[in-house]
């Protein structure tokens, strides 16, 4: 881990903005999955896209982040985007325990340096790339922040949407739905 990653890990370890224990309140998720359509010729439109919104309990977050989506026939998605909403209370405490947050960021392959942006509530667009973790992107605004990674071998994007003020998760999901055709690229 590079110097910024070590510093970020220290900041996360001392950050008190988490729930003391895992919450029993489920987290909203948004998923886009692309499935090849073997009965179609290799042309535009030969990919079926599923858009799913559901809720995931903290106990299931790590498995949710690391499992490739499948369709009704058991076929594995050729590309996917999975986004989980992490709410913040008025006191700025995240609606997730530190243990679950750490499990999620580890399972998603988040570059530890990006955690500094989360804990410090930074704004702007940042990209983190170093050995031992996936390339990680962070986008922060005054109203929300998004942290995500992309696993090229599975074409899997996993991210977290974090409220900073009012709830915008559903609005953000609607925008993602419009761009579902771009599921194969994380940027």
Is residue 170 assigned to a domain? yes
Residue 132 has pLDDT above 60, yes or no: yes
Give the single-character DSSP code of 68: P
pTM: 0.82
Q: What is the pLDDT of residues 101-111, one digit of tens each?
A: 999 999 999 99
The domain containing residue 60 runs over which residues? 8-182
Residue 122: which pLDDT band, with cuts at 50, 70 and 90? confident
Q: What is the pLDDT of residues 155-180, one digit of tens each?
A: 899 999 998 776 778 888 888 888 88
Is residue 159 assigned to a domain? yes
Residue 187: which pLDDT band, with cuts at 50, 70 and 90? low
CA distances from 121 to 12, 19, 94, 108, 124 (A): 12, 17, 12, 20, 10
Is residue 33 assigned to a domain? yes
Total domains present in the chain: 1
Is residue 81 assigned to a domain? yes
Residue tagged 């299931």 (tokens): 60
Is residue 83 assigned to a domain? yes
Residues 6+ apart with CB under 8 A from 181: 49
Is residue 13 assigned to a domain? yes
Is residue 2 assigned to a domain? no
Determine how many CB atoms are found less than 10 A away from the CB of residue 76: 14
Kindly report the three-state secondary structure assignment for every residue of 143-172: CEEEEEEEECCCCEEEEEEEECCCCCHHHH
d(CA 38, CA 36): 6
Is residue 187 assigned to a domain? no
Residue 121 has pLDDT above 60, yes or no: yes
pLDDT at 79 (0 to 100)? 92
d(CA 124, CA 116): 13
């Amino acid at each position: 881990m590079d110097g910024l990653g070590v510093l970020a890990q220290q900041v996360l370890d001392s950050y008190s903005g988490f729930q003391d224990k895992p919450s029993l309140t489920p987290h909203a998720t948004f998923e886009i999955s692309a499935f090849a359509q073997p009965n179609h010729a290799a042309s535009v439109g030969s990919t079926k896209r599923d858009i799913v919104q559901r809720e995931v309990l903290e106990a299931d977050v790590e498995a949710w982040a690391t499992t490739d989506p499948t369709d009704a026939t058991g076929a594995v998605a050729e590309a996917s985007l999975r986004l989980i909403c992490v709410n913040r209370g008025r006191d700025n405490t995240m609606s997730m325990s530190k243990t679950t947050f750490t499990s999620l960021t580890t399972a998603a392959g988040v570059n530890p340096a990006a955690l500094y942006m989360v804990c410090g509530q930074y704004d702007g667009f940042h990209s983190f790339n170093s050995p031992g973790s996936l390339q990680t992107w962070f986008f922060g605004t005054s109203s929300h922040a998004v942290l995500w990674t992309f696993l090229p071998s599975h074409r899997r994007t996993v991210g977290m949407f974090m409220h900073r003020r009012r709830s915008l998760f559903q609005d953000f999901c609607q925008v993602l739905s419009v761009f579902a055709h771009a599921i194969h690229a994380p940027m």
